[in-house]
Each structure stands twice: as C-alpha cells, then as structure tokens.
Chains A and B, each alone.
Chain A
C-alpha cells in the first residue's frame, strides 16, 4: 500500500534521526520494497556528495572591521534609548496606519505626472519637446514623461542635485524614477552624456539591450535604432548589465551591447582596429564557428594595455581557449606574486583578485568601500536634508 512506503523518511533514517520503532520499520520495509530502496540509495548518494562540503577558514582580517563597526554602532546607548522610547511604539503604529490609509486614499485619486519632483530641463539648442510641448525656460521632466530632440535640438537635464545629463540630437529619453535611493532614465534611442557626482549605484540608464549603472563617473551612451548600445567611459566606472551578463567598464574603455544578448567584453578605445573588430566577432558572432578564430585574433592583436580585456575574457572561455588567453596575458605582463597558471585556469578567486589589482581593476573592493564611505558621509552630512543614499 502506498502509505506504507518510507521514501520520505530516507534522509532521517540515514542520519539516525528516527525513533527506534521508526528505524526498524524503515529497515524492514527497505528489504522488501525495491522502489523505496532505490530512492534511499539516491538520498544516500546525495548525502555523500554533501559530505564533501568542508569548513572554510575565515580571514583573520575580519576582526579589524568588526571592531570598527562596533565603534560606530555604540551598542549600549542604543539599547537604552530604545527602552526609553518604548512607550512611543503604539503611537508609531497608529501613525503608520494613518499614513497607510492616507496613502491608499491618494492612490484612489486620479494620477497625474509629478512635474514638481521631476528634473529641470534646459534647452541647449533647437526645439526639444516634452511630450507635445516645447521645452521652455522653466520646464521640468516628470516621471513617465518623454523628452525628445530632433536633428537640430539638444537639451540638458539636471539629475536632482547629483549631476546632469546632456541629450544629443535625435534622442528620445524618458524619466522612469527619481527618488532618494534611485534615479533612472530610459534611453530608447540617440545619445546622452552623463556626469554624476554621487554615491555609486544611484543613477541608472535603461536601454533596450541592458542597464548602465553609474559607479561614480562620466560617460556617453548611445543607442541605435536596433536597440544596440555603445558605452564610452571618460571618468570612473560604469557597469552594464542584462540579466546575468555584466561588464564593468573603466575610464578610457568602451563596451558594446547587443539587443537580446547584453554587454560584450570591455576594451580600451585606443586598441587596434583589428583587436576591436575581432573582439566584436567573438562577443557577438554572426557565425559561431568563427568565434574561435576571432578569439585567436584578439589574443594576437592584444597590447599590454589590452590585458584588461583578456582578463575579462578568462571566465567567458573554457579549456584550451582559456589557456591561450591566459598565456597571452602573461606574455604581455608578468603575473603578480602568488599566482599560478593552473590556479588561473581554474579561475581561483584569490588569484583573479591579485590580477585585478595588478591591472588596476580593483573596482569591486574599492568601489564597495567607496560606496560605504559615501553612504556614511551623505547620510550623516546631507541625509537629514535630502535623504540621498546610494544602493548596494
């Protein structure tokens, strides 16, 4: 009978987590039931694989960060402060309820574009338009509104108080969101130049082929009619992302994205034409069989400065191709201390990090640190005034 089967007890039986009578029942059942026996063997095999997980040693350096963090937290005073204001809890709950009810009523009112919280728009030439209206001296771009320039017009957007975006001719952009934690534009086509002075991950531009995420920088982003984009970074870093595919582009470098595929591999703009065209054929192959020869050309044409591109290619290729890319990297630039070829071919994280440092690509850690510092500074100095906070 089905209810007599014991496969749902397999793990508990294997781990000796059953009572003695239960264990006996399972053991007796397994002798006679081939189905439950097969499932038990399956669980046992999975358990043997799971036993391969080992305890990992934590880095000693963690302690310094903990003590620094505790100094900031000032634990005891917080606890007592909390207790002192316990009586305010019911009032806070009541206030929250009122806000929720009020918010709900507001949602029931007819919605309109919020021009007051939008961005100020300046006309730089020609007749840029917001919707059907021409941009005037006091125009603002509200959330949800499109700003469009024709062949003879240009405009400038003030991104809250964190920077500005210049809109070139034949461009169509829409403000998607602007609040304390996120400012987001959509670039449907055309070109914009952004200059942002804010914590990383506060300003984003959506394009049809990916999202450009500001990491404290200046850059130009162009989208063609097919939805493909071209990013050029002049200061700082920009991350381009589409689903799981992401490229982080440093100053002086560029990156192309393709609609439906996402970002390619970043490259320095002063790389040779042969290098760039081969990289493009590798990233977005019209014929997959030509990808190997394109990669071969990329490695052949690479200069020492192009080791950055080769580094970012390592995780994107496998086996012999990875070995070829890595050997070319080391021919162009001696590897850092403590790095082995075998480790790099296995994408050893510590060794990859050492190479990042050697290539000056330490954006991950330094920007993360910078983001934390920014958050502290902004939240303490300006936070109470404008509430700006970067995202992690």
Chain B
C-alpha cells in the first residue's frame, strides 16, 4: 500500500509526501533515508524528550537515539493508517515514559538539583526572557504527566487536539479538558510573572 502511495506521488512538495517516500526507503534499510528522517524530526523529538524528562540533556539524547533506532526497527509495523508524525510522537511519548520508569532512582546529583534548586536571581531585562522560559519549564515539570503531555504536544510540536488525542490514545474532549487544567495550573504557578510576558 505504501509503495502505491509513493508511486502515486510524482513531485512531492509537502513534508508528508516527502515522509512517505523516505519511509519506504527506510523500510528497505536505507541509512540515507533514516538520516533524512532524523534531520527532519531530530529537534522535535529531542525537544519533547528534554522537556518531558525535566531538562536532562543526557537522558534526552539517549531517548532521541532510542527513538530513531526503534523507528528503524519498527517501521515495518507502521501501516499508514495514521499520520507518520502521530506514529512517531507516540513512539517518543512511550520511550520517554519507559525512560522515566527506568530512571526512577538514577538521577545525577547535579541534574536533579537543577530541577529542585530555587534560584533567586535578579531579574534583569536582558535575561528576563530566558529566565521566564526556564520558569515555565520548571512549572511544566511540576505538572502531572497527563497534563504535561498535551501541553508539550500542543506548544512544542504544534499538534491539533485530534492529533494529540491520537498520540496519547484519548479523545479530543479529554485533550481539551486536560489542556484546560494544564493552562490553569500554569497560570496559578506563574501568575506572579505575568508582567514579564509581552503585550498580547
């Protein structure tokens, strides 16, 4: 079926059509094709891994590598009945969850401290934006995973509610409800920083 779809696409212009062609080559074991997929998705996969794993760069790197290795070995299971990106993000979410379970007791001192340390630093205008992003990351890390994942998929990956539901295996209504609660939680945790947000 995939081959037929690929054959039907003469001059692919969208990312999705490029993906299909690359996916087919990937399934045939083509390393260059995997490299193309890696280049197309590496930042998104890495970003979501890093945000979901509390900002730990080493773990995020490990997860990103695992995701692309799994992608190569499991691509045969991808039937094309969902978007490739949805399938990939599901792989990312599951790999992150597995990693969190495995790492429950193995958090380097320094890195865990980065997450828990209360940094009281002067808010200068020059660094306010960076500091705000850091505070958002920390607040996000304090949310329950079921509220954190929809926020990550929406704001880092730009997915629609329907796509988020497919990745997380829940309904669009559940996604809307969790995003509502996630937004409210962020608002409560970060409300004191509202002045640092630019104009609407």
Instruction: Give A contacts to B, CB under 8 Å.
Output: 7-12, 15, 17, 39, 42-59, 61-63, 65-67, 69-70, 73, 75-76, 78-79, 201, 213, 241, 244, 246-248, 312, 315-316, 318-319, 345-347, 349-350, 352, 356, 364-365, 368, 391-392
Q: Could you tell me how many residues of chain B have their Cβ less than 8 Å away from some Cβ of chain A?
A: 74
A15 touches B119 (CB 8 A): no
Task: Please measure, in the bound complex, the distance between the C-alpha atom of A248 and the C-alpha atom of B42, giving whole angstroms.
Answer: 32
Q: Which residues of A contact B149 (CB under 8 A)?
A: none
Question: What residue of chain A has the Cβ atom nearest to residue B42's Cβ?
Answer: A58
Contacts of B200 in A (CB 8 A): 48
Q: Is the CB of A43 within 8 A of B110?
A: no
The reply to whether B50 and A56 contact each other, CB–CB distance below 8 Å, is yes
> Quick check: B121 and A345 within 8 Å, CB to CB?
yes
Are A50 and B64 in contact (CB-based, < 8 A)?
no
Cβ–Cβ < 8 Å partners of A9 in chain B: 176
Q: Roughly how many angstroms separate A297 CA and B120 CA in the complex, as a whole number?
A: 22
Q: Cβ of A54: which chain B residues have Cβ within 8 Å of it?
A: 47, 133
Asked if B31 is an interface residue, CB under 8 A from chain A, the answer is yes
Question: Are A315 and B114 touching (Cβ within 8 A)?
Answer: yes
**Which residues from chain B sit less than 8 Å from chain A, CB to CB?**
29, 31, 34-35, 38, 42-47, 50-51, 55, 57-58, 61, 64-66, 68-69, 72-73, 76, 102-103, 105-114, 116-121, 132-133, 136-137, 139-140, 151-152, 154-156, 160-161, 172, 176-177, 179-180, 182-188, 190-191, 193-194, 197, 200
Knowing A12-B176, A49-B187 are in contact, say whether A17-B160 is a contact too (CB < 8 A): yes
Please state if B69 and A43 are interface contacts (CB–CB under 8 Å).
Answer: no
Q: Are B65 and A62 in contact (CB under 8 A)?
A: yes
Question: Which residues of B have CB within 8 Å of A52?
Answer: 132-133, 136
Q: In the bound complex, what is the Cα–Cα distance between A246 and B115 (angstroms)?
A: 13
Nearest CB in chain A to that of B157: its residue: A55
CA distance A50 to B185 in the complex (A): 11
Selected contact of B47 from candidates A48, A56, A79, A319, CB within 8 Å: A56
> Closest chain A residue to B111 by CB distance?
A349
Which residue of A is nearest B113, CB measured?
A315
Nearest CB on B from A266, distance (A): 9
Bound Cα distance A44, B42 (Å) = 30
Q: Which residues of B contact A318 (CB under 8 A)?
A: 117-120
Residue of B nearest to A43 (CB): B183
Task: Say which residue of B108, B113, B188 sits within 8 Å of A316 (CB atoms).
Answer: B113
Given contacts A8-B176, A15-B161, contact A392 B136 (CB under 8 A): no
Alpha-carbon separation in the docked complex, A10 to B182 (Å):
12
Known A49-B187, A49-B197, A368-B58; further 19 A-B contacts with Cβ < 8 A: A8-B180, A17-B161, A42-B187, A43-B187, A45-B194, A49-B190, A50-B136, A55-B43, A55-B156, A58-B43, A62-B64, A66-B34, A70-B34, A76-B29, A315-B114, A318-B119, A349-B57, A364-B111, A392-B102
Structural contact, A63 and B47, CB atoms closer than 8 A:
no
B133 to chain A, nearest CB (A): 5
Task: Note all chain B residues with C-beta closer than 8 A to A69.
Answer: 65-66, 69
Contact B31 A67 (CB under 8 A): yes
Q: Which residue of B is nearest A315, CB measured?
A: B113
Interface centre among A43, A52, A76 (most CB of B within 10 A): A52
Q: Let me know if B176 and A247 touch, CB within 8 A.
A: no
> Is A356 in contact with B76, judged by CB distance below 8 angstroms?
no
State A46–B186 Cα separation when bound (angstroms): 5
Q: Cα distance A247–B112 when bound, in Å? A: 11
Contacts of B34 in A (CB 8 A): 66, 70
A66 in complex: contacting residue of B65, B132, B154, B182, CB < 8 Å: B65
Most buried by A among B35, B105, B200: B105
Complex contact B47–A75 (CB within 8 A)? no
Q: Are B46 and A319 in contact (CB under 8 A)?
A: no
Distance, CA A7 to CA B109, complexed state (A): 42
> Are B121 and A352 in contact, CB atoms less than 8 angstroms apart?
no
CB distance from A83 to the nearest CB of B (A): 9
With A315-B110, A316-B113 as given contacts, are A63 and B38 in contact (CB-CB < 8 Å)?
yes
Are A247 and B72 in contact, with the CB atoms below 8 A? no
9 residue pairs bridging A and B, Cβ less than 8 Å apart = A11-B183, A39-B184, A48-B197, A49-B187, A53-B137, A54-B133, A75-B72, A315-B113, A316-B117
From B45, B155, B161, A51 is in contact (CB under 8 Å) with B155
- The chain B residue sitting closest to A51, CB to CB, is B155
Instruction: Give chain B nearest CB distance to A137 CB in angstroms.
Output: 37
Select from chain A the residue with minimum beta-carbon distance to B76.
A79
Asked whether B155 lies within 8 Å of A58 as measured between CB atoms, the reply is no
Question: Taking the nearest CB of chain B, how far is it from the CB of A194, in angstroms?
Answer: 18
Residue of B nearest to A241 (CB): B105
Is A315 touching B47 in the complex (CB atoms < 8 A)? no
* Contact, CB under 8 Å: B64 / A58: yes
B65 touches A46 (CB 8 A): no
Least CB distance from B181 to A in Å reads: 9
Judging by beta carbons under 8 Å apart, are A62 and B180 in contact? no
Complex CA distance for A391 and B109, rounded to whole angstroms: 18
Q: Which residue of B lies closest to A17 (CB)?
A: B161
Look across to chain A and name the residue whose beta carbon is closest to the beta carbon of B51.
Answer: A53
Chain A residue with the shortest CB-CB distance to B190 = A49
- B176, A17: Cβ atoms under 8 Å? yes
- Give chain B residues whose Cβ lies under 8 Å from the Cβ of A67: 31
